[in-house]
Chain A
Amino acid sequence: MSLLTAVVVWLITLAISIPFVTRTWWMPEAITDIGRLIDESFMVTLAITGFIFVVAQVALGYTVWKYGRKSDGSADYTHGNNKLEILWTAAASVIFVGLTLTGFSVWAETRFIDRRSMEPSEGRLMIEVTGQQFVWNMRYPGEDNQFGPTDINLIDDAAGNPVGLDRDGPGGADDIMVPEMRVPVNREVELALKSKDVLHNFFVPELRIKLDTVPGLVGTLRFKADKEGKYEIVCSELCGLGHYKMRSFLYVVSEEEYDAWMEEQASYLF
């Protein structure tokens, strides 16, 4: 029984570890600098915790095996070992707290964004993302780089105005509303995340970042994608019966392609 228990514990440990080593199921490739920093953080954590995981399980199995075979004599009588206890506690504190401290600069870079997000700044592409059951609405400020005003009374899904954009308001005439997101490669993008009904969560796995869209609040995410491609936007906060199909796409394209697309979209307006 002792050997069986130990072997099962070891086999389970091995089975769980293998796919993490062979990367059988793995994160998609990151397409931002921050994404790659997060991956680094992840790899450090994986290495350290993987080591702890294996050592702890092996030690557990070994102890069970070694002291399960004992047929003669009696068990040791000891109340513990304070030196070992303190050593272990100190090591655990340093590792665990150290790990989280190393990740802080990345967190700061990702999330410490000043709140004047609706003021478009030089060179940065602003996109407003509004979650709704069960679609994503993207709004581009258009040529004037200024978002038009919205009015809750103008909201009309059927007429193609899901966010209640006032076309007659200042800067509203050229706003572009699309269900998918298209951004030029290597350009910094700032998203203003909103919701018109319940909580949703804007998540693009390749960007490595997600944020809830909270009705009544404006969340901010920034990213600079450096690899062209088509990526999926998946909702990661339960939002109702269609939660699983609340999906859209992020297209990272070349500047030229982006400009051409913009022009095409603008041409539909008039």
Chain B
Amino acid sequence: MTEVQVSEEVAEYTEVHRHPEPKSFIWKYIFSVDHKVIGIQYLMLAVAAVFVGMFLSLLVRLRLVWPEESIPLLGQLFPIGAPDGVMTPEFYLAMLTMHGTIMVFMVLTTAPQGGFGNYFLPIQIGAADMAFPRLNMLSFWSTFVSFMLLLAAFFVEGGAPWSGWTGYPPLSAVPEATVQGFGQDLWVASIAVFCIASLLGALNFIVTTLDLRAKGLTMFRMPLTCWTWFVTAILGLLAFGVLLAAGVLLLMDRNVGTSFFVPGGLVISDKQIDHSGGSPILWQHLFWFFGHPEVYIAILPGMGVTSHILSTFARKTVFGYKAMVYAVLAIGFLGFVVWGHHMFVSGMSPYSAFVFSILTMCIGVPSAIKTFNWIGTMWGGKIRFTSPMLFSIGFVSLFVTGGISGIFLGQPTIDLFFHDTYFVVAHFHLIMGVAAIFGMFAGLIFWFPKMFGRMMDERLNKIHFWMTFVGVYAIFGPMHYLGMMPHPRRYAEITSVDYLEAMGAADLHLFITAAAILTILAQFLFLFNLIKSIFKGKECRDPNPWEATTLEWTISSPPPHDNFAGKVPHVYRGAYDFSLPGTKRDFAMQCNNDEAVFGSRPASSGD
């Protein structure tokens, strides 16, 4: 190879590496390889999905309160599912299934990781883009296809699937059991495509974190957000492959006549089903081997954002940074060995419950460490009550409440009573749903000025916070009491169970539905604020309006195409150097060396 060739390579390589800014609309905003555009695409997809999912939950709540009454407009909207405005039980189950699937996959998995992670991981580690920008684009567009496949299930004959978001066979595998066809196939196909998209995304995140960190940014100087995105990516890499395999097998059981999950000797309406020897429990093992890590895929980025924001607005360094990192790693690892706690009453070997139960309880330990450290971070701080801070405080509160009910469900004996009741619904909504969403609200408001160069309306944000915070407790708090009755999950009506009527389940349901409607209204306030602020929000020329320390706050808002405008950042300190003694400002940015932070004085402390 000659000298000339080499330098040509370099020139071109640099060019490819910081892919030039595309000029045409399609390449700039649609099929973009820029991680910031892709991040926003993921966020837009999640916002669209979350409103669909929320609408479905509204239908679910309405049906529970008015099972027989006609609801205006519904008859016109859903002539088959809700003839004359009265929702059928199968329509109720379909809404329930699609609500769960859309929320878990299209919102909780996409926004925290694909959205915020995509946008801010490269910037926070000082990189120009993700490690594989084209792969990144492919991940997003596969996710988009997956979302479309899922939505298409609403519009095929037989309607959306109604075997629950867990899709337990034989209900999901034997068409005769649900009198249903293509919707369930689309559901499985959508999840399979989603798995592939997430695997590609996970690969990209891991390589980016390991390989593209700026000089001086050791792993233990990374912001905790980066740590959680990194661990989440590892979880995704190991979990989604398993779900993909399970999905392929389920699709074959449905369409090709194999018997992986469907046992022999099934008789439905006096008709013998032509399968033999499969195991429904096998699906549950595969599904929950994915399903439990999925819980952490949803919540870990929220934990990272919360740690980040609590520290920033308490003007105090994270209490026990290393303990936080180890706790995240421990939660990630334990997440893979506890799937059996979803199956205490499934008929699996009762002996394995011992192991699963002990390991499950062990997750309480790193979770307790995190809670302790969050409060420790604020303790002795100087708290600024911005709306991201409020959402992060709300996150901690919800995390505690949702975590505590897990202590009941993790014990097999108590789970015997609570399994598949509203107690479980309350538990996972609080911790995996609402807490994670609070993390997203916090992150969105916190990073909004960086993404759009404008501020969100703080007053509306605070109103939205208070309505949502009280609202979600009003929705999911009473569900614990329904669980005490005990109210089984996924019941389209309560009329056929005497004790539910006797104990006043109807009143509680009415209260919950009222709270849900108010909370949903508050979300429209947020949507309004979001759209208004993107176009008309107060301009924010200050690159660092929150006086934060990490690298994204050193660059202009919105960031230039290659993030650091042709420069390469160098990191000198940990991510949370707030209120360092002997400095004139109460924060030291990661890219400031001691001389810059302490002036001429020699460094007395610092990481």
Contacts and interface: CB of A to CB of B under 8 A. Distances in A.
The answer on direct contact between A and B (beta carbons under 8 Å) is yes
Interface of A: 1-2, 5, 8-9, 12, 15-16, 19, 24-28, 37-38, 41-42, 45-46, 48-49, 52-53, 56-57, 59-60, 63-64, 67-68, 70, 73-82, 84-85, 88-89, 92-93, 96-97, 99-101, 103-104, 106-107, 110-112, 132-133, 152-153, 155-158, 164, 196-199, 201, 203, 205, 208-217, 219, 232, 234-245, 247
What are the 5 tightest A-B residue pairs by CB atom distance, in nearest-first order? Answer: A216-B263, A80-B320, A76-B380, A111-B350, A244-B491
B414 A75 contact: no
B316 A49 contact: no
B368 A210 contact: no
Contact of A41 (B413, B484, B494, B498): B413
B229 interface: no
Given A8-B466, A67-B383, 4 more contacts: A42-B414, A85-B373, A241-B90, A244-B494
Nearest to A159: B270
Interface in B340-396: 345-347, 350-351, 353-354, 357-358, 360-362, 364-365, 368-369, 371-373, 375-376, 378-383, 385, 390, 393, 396
A51 to B, nearest CB: 10
A74 B579 contact: yes
A41 B320 CA distance: 34
Interface stretch (B34-42, B242-250, B401-409, B560-568): B401-409
Nearest to A95: B364
A70 B266 CA distance: 68
Nearest to A247: B496
Contact of A240 (B177, B369, B372, B469): B177
Given A5-B385, A77-B317, A238 B498 contact: no
24 contacts: A9-B397, A26-B484, A53-B400, A56-B371, A60-B396, A60-B397, A64-B393, A67-B378, A67-B382, A74-B586, A77-B581, A78-B316, A78-B319, A81-B376, A85-B320, A100-B357, A110-B413, A112-B350, A152-B267, A198-B177, A199-B170, A214-B346, A232-B497, A232-B499
B221 interface: no
A235 B393 contact: no
A71 B93 CA distance: 53
Give the interface centre of A59, A111, A235 by most chain B CB atoms within 10 Å. Answer: A111
B158 interface: no
Contact of B347 (A2, A101, A203, A219): A219
Residue among B265, B484, B488 having the largest count of chain A Cβ atoms under 10 Å: B488
B45 interface: no
A15 to B, nearest CB: 7
Given A45-B407, A75-B316, A215 B170 contact: yes
Interface in B74-104: 88-90, 93
Contact of B469 (A8, A112, A153, A157): A8
B417 A216 contact: no
Interface string B326-350: 0000000000000000000111001
B118 interface: no
B470 interface: yes
Nearest to A246: B496
Interface in B166-212: 168, 170-171, 174, 177-178
Contact of A238 (B171, B315, B393): B171
Interface of B: 88-90, 93, 162-164, 168, 170-171, 174, 177-178, 263-270, 272-273, 277-281, 314-321, 323, 345-347, 350-351, 353-354, 357-358, 360-362, 364-365, 368-369, 371-373, 375-376, 378-383, 385, 390, 393, 396-397, 400-401, 404-405, 407-408, 410-414, 416-417, 419-421, 466, 469-470, 473, 477, 480-482, 484-486, 488-494, 496-499, 503-504, 508, 578-581, 586, 605, 607
Contacts of A5: 385, 390, 393
Contact of B411 (A45, A133, A214): A45
Contacts of A216: 263-265, 277-280
B317 A12 contact: no
Contacts, number: 324
A92 B372 CA distance: 11
B211 to A, nearest CB: 28
Contacts of B264: 216
B270 A88 contact: no
Contact of B473 (A16, A37, A240): A16
B400 A56 contact: yes
Contact of A100 (B266, B361, B390, B419): B361
A190 B371 CA distance: 45
Contact of A97 (B177, B362, B493, B503): B362
B413 A38 contact: yes
A38 B401 contact: no
Contacts of B280: 199, 214-216
Contacts of A45: 407-408, 411, 414
B414 A78 contact: no
B390 to A, nearest CB: 7
Contacts of A243: 89, 93, 490-492
A88 to B, nearest CB: 5
Given A74-B586, A103-B413, A236-B488, A68 B400 contact: no
A132 B481 CA distance: 29
Contacts of A67: 314, 378-383
B448 to A, nearest CB: 20
Contacts of B346: 212, 214
A110 B345 CA distance: 12
A71 to B, nearest CB: 8
Given A8-B469, A16-B401, A96-B361, A208 B317 contact: no
Contact of B376 (A80, A93, A235, A247): A80
B383 A2 contact: yes
A202 to B, nearest CB: 10
A196 B267 contact: yes
A25 B368 CA distance: 29
Nearest to A41: B413
A60 B353 contact: no
A75 B397 contact: no
Contacts of A84: 372, 376
A89 B361 CA distance: 13
A29 B350 CA distance: 26
Contacts of B482: 25
A223 B419 CA distance: 19
A24 B485 CA distance: 10
A96 B504 CA distance: 33
Contact of B484 (A27, A101, A156, A240): A27
A65 B162 CA distance: 46
B89 A244 contact: yes
A227 to B, nearest CB: 15
Contacts of B586: 74-75
Contacts of B380: 67, 75-76, 78
A80 B493 contact: no
A76 B484 contact: no
A107 B401 CA distance: 26
A28 B318 CA distance: 46
A49 to B, nearest CB: 5
Given A99-B411, A111-B350, A196-B267, A15 B477 contact: yes
Contacts of A82: 320
A81 B93 CA distance: 50
A115 to B, nearest CB: 11
Given A75-B586, A199-B280, A235-B488, A25 B381 contact: no
A238 B404 contact: no
B578 A133 contact: no
Greatest chain B CB density within 10 A among A46, A49, A92 is at A92
B411 A41 contact: yes
B89 A241 contact: yes
A103 B407 CA distance: 12
